[in-house]
Chains A and B, each alone.
Chain A
Amino acid sequence: MAFSIQVDGLDELMRQLGKLEDGGLGIAAQGLYEGAGVMADKVSSAVQGIATEPFKYAKGGKKRKPSPEEKAILANAKTGVAKFRKTGVNVQTSVGMQSSGYAQLGKVTKPIPQIANAINSGTSFMQKQPFFRKATSQAKAQATAAIENKIQEEFEKLDIG
């Protein structure tokens, strides 16, 4: 992560970060929250772009597209940011479907993450549409910039020269 703080050296940086109660972890978490939000928004938009066709059983080894019902389940599941996990000097989170429950699909009940995974990675009878992988790969630069900007902004507020 390339954000810059003007200090004379590493010792000086450590001294400045030491002035913060949690060694800067709170600021890092705020930055991460911004970046994760960018990712979650991109994934939500990508769900809207999934191509569908009316449901039909994929017979004779042929492939089918996801059905409008499957797409609607993902759209309603909402994309969200997981609870932050702080371990030592690290802070982590994940972006995914907020609802990890089950959805009724015709006569069967299926886990929502399984439906998302089947569309994202494809199956032997469903065409692959890597909406999640595409959204997260393409949003990396934008998310990184959002994290940098937030951290920079918070450091400026602190004025710990």
Chain B
Amino acid sequence: MPTEYTRLVAALKALTQGESPDPVITLPMAEDEWNTRPDTVSYGMVRLDFEVDALRGDNVKKATAYEGSVDLYSLQRDGAGWVPLITGALTEYCEGAWSLNTHMYERETGLFHWEWAFQVEG
């Protein structure tokens, strides 16, 4: 796994809101997919989707660019405050190589969905 990606996953899993003595809220974040949807107001997913390109030389790959995505599902229209925290982590660990790919509302479940695509070097 690319180091940048591993660091991003760790940072996303460590995202919290609130301070002690108030309850600290964490965002349930799965790598890849949730087998069963968590019963929470908001939850997230992060995964490495595919290899975009590679720099080759001396019959080996010198560097590889991967593209991945982060998803946030929330019952609240503003993402319950998680949107700026996720985009902040993307900016810090992907050096700005990310963009909001989609923002949808699911009528069936009442969930708002954000998807960000990012690129990392491995």
Contact (Cβ within 8 A) A123 B53: no
User: Does A117 lie at the interface of the complex (its beta carbon under 8 Å from any beta carbon of B)?
Assistant: yes
A127 CB, nearest partner CB in chain B, Å: 6
Q: Which residues of chain A are within 8 angstroms of B101 by Cβ–Cβ distance?
A: 121, 133
Interface digits, B38-64 against A, CB 8 Å rule (1 contact, 0 not)? 110000000101101100000000000
**Quick check: which of A35-43, A56-64, A94-102 contacts chain B, the rest being far away?**
A56-64
A-B contact count (CB 8 A): 62
Given A122-B71, A133-B101, do A127 and B33 touch, yes or no (CB 8 Å)? yes
Interface size classification for chain B: 20 to 34
Question: Of B47, B53, B108, B117, which is within 8 A of A138 by CB?
Answer: B53
Q: Are A134 and B50 in contact (CB under 8 A)?
A: yes
Interface string of A46-75 (1 = CB under 8 A from B): 000000000000001111000000000000
Asked if B20 is at the interface (CB within 8 A of a chain A CB), the reply is: no
* Residues of A with C-beta under 8 A to B35: 62-63
Residues of B within 8 A of A61 (CB): 34, 36-39
Minimum Cβ distance to chain B for residue A50 (Å)? 14
**Which residues in A have their C-beta under 8 angstroms from that of B115?**
121-122
For this complex, 9 residue pairs linking A to B, each with C-beta atoms less than 8 Å apart, are: A61-B34, A63-B33, A121-B102, A123-B104, A124-B106, A125-B109, A127-B33, A137-B50, A137-B67
Contact surface of A with B, Cβ cutoff 8 Å: 60-63, 117, 120-125, 127-128, 130, 133-134, 137-138, 140-141
